[in-house]
Structure 1
């Protein structure tokens, strides 16, 4: 039943007076903050319903505006776990370093700071838990790891956790990552628009498994939009050393005659050079991420935005008191954008 416009709108203070609690407690209870007991939350919600309480959308918008204008004082830490060896390799990847920057900036606005904890060098998963527990840290961000770490008996059920990317198979938490399928469809369309008709996809066998075949899936979907004679088989590079990989690419090129390559392998320009294939004179090239590749055309995956969304997702879990491995994991996908470059000249000009 809609409230009578002539009747004053019930407020948080009205609900508080009815129950004998503060308006702050009422506000937290209506947002299901875990600091308020379940019993009190249910009483508050019932009282709000009886009084016909509805949030004022204009006040909510003003509060959000004010929140966005100011940075909260930093009072707590969020753990960023680094299991790389050596640990410095992780943020030597520009993409992963941008995850850190995006998450750090977002965390600061909510009163958190991002702090790196390194596994190895005497720090076991069990020791890590002891440190986090002693520090009162309950939120964890997991960047991509290589190789896959042994988490031992780490008690994930005590933490709110979000991971970046798909390289980690465990723990199966909520994920924030690039929309690899949509990005591949975008790249294929942009390459076609620039006059390329025989577009091939080159990948590494190990990465297909690690990343979940999603670039491959996007490429196969994109091929359905072109005549069958222009659908080239994917070139999957095996575990051969550099010279063997270069030879495999050369054989694939000579057999299928692509005029452009889309790839998730940042070092492909070097392999093409070893094979005697010139870019862009002999073949054009675009990559799944221009940030860490030796190529200038392809997709900007907006990793800083991925980092920001990763923290916002974690913050929502912390506020909801959601810990451990979720029964239904979510995937938050961030769309990329196209970047033109000299390795993929416009053939229509």
Structure 2
């Protein structure tokens, strides 16, 4: 073998194996015996073989051009109940829309499965996915932490959204919850508010306490801020109004707009009597459209707060899943990856300066 960088053909000749076998082994293809894959990888390391990324890019492009239509398949698996419609939950709906768009761009067919509405057990769905040639599975957040998918994920490349699927060896993609809360609190403080009321509701377990950690750190680092304790637990109108009366925040930061409705009924105007910023503009745009009171709808027509970039999260999830498939990475990972997405702040009109 010459002193120049060894090629894939050189490696195959050295091992006495077919070129296709060596290529599959380097991609960790499951059709080859583990001993063969290990032997090829060891020889590649000893000989100093590394793939040329330029050639890989060209081959990937040629394969894509040869595909007249999407043939490889991905699955989007949910457990949403009949009462919960995707169009009423825009964040989750945007995950799906983004995933569909990127899957089509990459030549994948994305199939949607609802285990609840289709009465599919985990065992049955696993069989269906294998029969249809599904290579990768996307799992959006589940609404109840008591739910489980019971899928045999060892057969597929997998990525889940957020932290509601509590499995330590699964790859996931999520809004960067800690920075989302911390940065949002800073945005509110930048408008001059020193009495910020943070409404956390029942999100602690779903985000593994990142919201609370960010809130406490914000208060610790900003000594000029009044130490108003967060409103925690499921929203209750009477309990919230009592909390509001006791601590008198000048601005509220909340995932939902229930607090605005309660204060509106008490004669307070959002954006005038108090400031408000949401942690999910996508969701609340829909909820605002359902408000019957026209005066309240006008108050909230340009909601201040965080856009979670859920559409792009869906797109990126498919990209990362495609990478796993290309590397033949199936099942759980000993070193799982967590990809964090940054939200985007929208100034709006409901958070006034003081």
User: Could you say whether these structures have the same fold, taking a TM-score greater than 0.5 normalized by the shorter chain as the test?
Assistant: yes
Determine the C-alpha separation between the residues in 2 that align with 1:232 and 1:102. Answer: 38
1:340 aligned partner: 347
1:242 aligned partner: none
Determine the C-alpha separation between the residues in 2 that align with 1:68 and 1:275. Answer: 63
Determine the C-alpha separation between the residues in 1 that align with 2:282 and 2:66. Answer: 29
Determine the C-alpha separation between the residues in 1 that align with 2:150 and 2:213. Answer: 35
User: Structure 1: any 5+ residue segments left out of the alignment?
Assistant: 240-244
For this pair of structures, how many residues does the alignment match?
A: 336
Aligned partner of 1:198 among 175, 195, 200: 195
CA contact (8 A) 1:81 1:117 kept: yes
Aligned partner of 1:140 among 137, 142, 145: 137
2:244 aligned partner: 253
1:307 aligned partner: 314
Q: TM-score, normalised by structure 1?
A: 0.83
2:222 aligned partner: 226
Instruction: Say if 1:238 and 1:9 are closer, same or farther in 2 by CA, change over 3 A.
Output: closer
Q: TM-score, normalised by structure 2?
A: 0.82
Determine the C-alpha separation between the residues in 1 that align with 2:282 and 2:305. Answer: 10
Deviation at 1:224, TM superposition (A): 1.6
Deviation by residue 1:227-279 (Cα, 9 ceiling, x = unmatched): 2662211112546xxxxx33322222222121111112244322332343320
| Pairwise CA RMSD | 3.1
CA contact (8 A) 1:297 1:342 kept: yes
Deviation at 1:101, TM superposition (A): 2.1
Determine the C-alpha separation between the residues in 2 that align with 1:85 and 1:28. Answer: 42
Moved more, 19-28 or 306-315: 19-28
1:331 aligned partner: 338
CA contact (8 A) 2:71 2:108 kept: yes
Instruction: Say if 1:58 and 1:174 are closer, same or farther in 2 by CA, change over 3 A.
Output: closer
2:171 aligned partner: 174
1:304 is paired with a residue whose SS is: helix
CA contact (8 A) 2:194 2:224 kept: no
